Amino acid sequence: MDGTKRENIKIGSKVFVVKKNDQRSGKLTEGIVDKILTNSQSHPHGIKVLLEDGTVGRVKEVINS
């Protein structure tokens, strides 16, 4: 599912995010959403989230919600 729309992302969703320092390489990190940091309903580069392990990144893909 698309990670650019806030409505697709829920607390506890399993997602793939790209961290700030991995944006050039496009390396994805898998995790569970702990907090949604983006306030707007959509963002062209992905909604920014905090994962349960403390990682902050933009959601590229929602695995399940």
Domain that holds residue 56: 6-64
Average pLDDT of adjacent 10-residue blocks, the chain of 65 residues: 94 96 95 97 97 97 84
Assigned domain for 41 exists: yes
| Domain tally, the chain | 1
Q: Is 8 helix (H, G, I), strand (E, B) or coil?
A: helix
Assigned domain for 1 exists: no
Q: What is the CATH number of the domain that holds 53?
A: 2.30.30
Assigned domain for 30 exists: yes
pLDDT of residue 7: 95
Spatial separation of the C-alpha atoms in residues 24 and 12, rounded to whole Å: 27
DSSP alpha helix (H) spans, the chain? none
Assigned domain for 58 exists: yes
Spatial separation of the C-alpha atoms in residues 59 and 48, rounded to whole Å: 6
Q: Is 62 helix (H, G, I), strand (E, B) or coil?
A: strand
Spatial separation of the C-alpha atoms in residues 57 and 23, rounded to whole Å: 9
pLDDT of residue 64: 77
Give the pair of three-digit tokens for residue 40: 């707007």
pLDDT of residue 27: 97
